[in-house]
Amino acid sequence: MSELKEISSNKIFNGYQKVFSHQSKELSCEMNFAIFLPADSAEKKLPVLYYLSGLTCNELNCVQKSGFQRYAAEKGLIVVCPDTSPRNIEGLDTKDFSWDFGYGAAFYVDSTTDAYKKNFRMYSYITSELIDVINSNFNVIPNKQSIFGHSMGGHGALIAALKTGLYKSVSAFAPISNPINCPWGEKCFTGYLGDNRESWKEYDATELVAKYNGPPLELFIDQGSEDQFLKENQLLPNNLIEAAKKAQVPFIYKLRDGYDHSYFFIATFIGEHIDYHAKHLL
């Protein structure tokens, strides 16, 4: 297990918001993650809630903008926020990188294309290596974990829950729900997974829920009605909801009137999401 290096530590709501770095074996680079540790985390083991951020983000966006710490402190939940991609890969050809592909945009898949398969393995990082790092270094209850996220991170949370059965609950703010059928997904999946669209389905929540046969799982989807990316058909939540209905997978879908894609939307409702996960974890 790689050694952790503490980058920062700030007291908040009697707990600590910290950032650590470590050398990732899956991604072959140094990675950062943020972790909120409630006041009693040193004395007793606590459940863990993982949060995955969206395009252009890193480990600090949720930490600095959502206000989740107040609610996590009240419920006694450790919250882990990883970065959204590998970073600063020496020798990597980045000529095709942009705000929606490459650094900050790894889409939580394990790449199979020659250019990216060594480093862009965020699915395995999130669902295996990071969990091992957290379980080995912090006072957590093994196998008591849930996951949520926003946009690209909502996609990541949904596929992680649907593919692994590792999480007690899952929720998503404005997730990219059917990436094989939206411009963001088509761009990233072509780059990371190649041209075989059948292989893309293994990282698409709409496709995965249609054949889900894992432990009982409910999908909690939160969506703003004035989200610009909803209107541009990047998110496609209705495709996911229809697939869940047909597969008889239970879901909660809340369309929030007037809210957009920003962290103002997330900050408004993140307390409700923390409470939802706490009911499954505590």
State in Å, rounded, how far the first CA of the chain is from the last one: 28
CB 276 within 8 A of CB 169: yes
Sheet holding 29-37, edge to edge: 5-12, 15-24, 29-37, 78-82, 46-52, 140-150, 170-173, 219-224, 251-256
Amino acid in the structure at residue 16: Y
Tokens of 277: 């996960």
Which entry of 151, 169, 171, 177 is annotated as an active-site residue?
151
Q: Report the 10 Å Cβ neighbour count for 231.
A: 10
Which entry of 22, 261, 273, 277 is annotated as an active-site residue?
261
Q: Is 151 a catalytic residue?
A: yes
The C-alpha angle 25, 4, 93, rounded to 5 degrees, equals 40
The C-alpha atoms of residue 238 and residue 173 are separated, in whole angstroms, by 14
Q: Is 204 a catalytic residue?
A: no
CB 77 within 8 A of CB 46: yes
Q: Is 155 a catalytic residue?
A: no
Which entry of 83, 204, 222, 227 is annotated as an active-site residue?
227
Beta carbons within 8 Å of 107's beta carbon, 6+ residues apart: 122, 152, 155, 156, 179, 185, 188, 189, 192, 203
Catalytic residues: 151, 227, 261
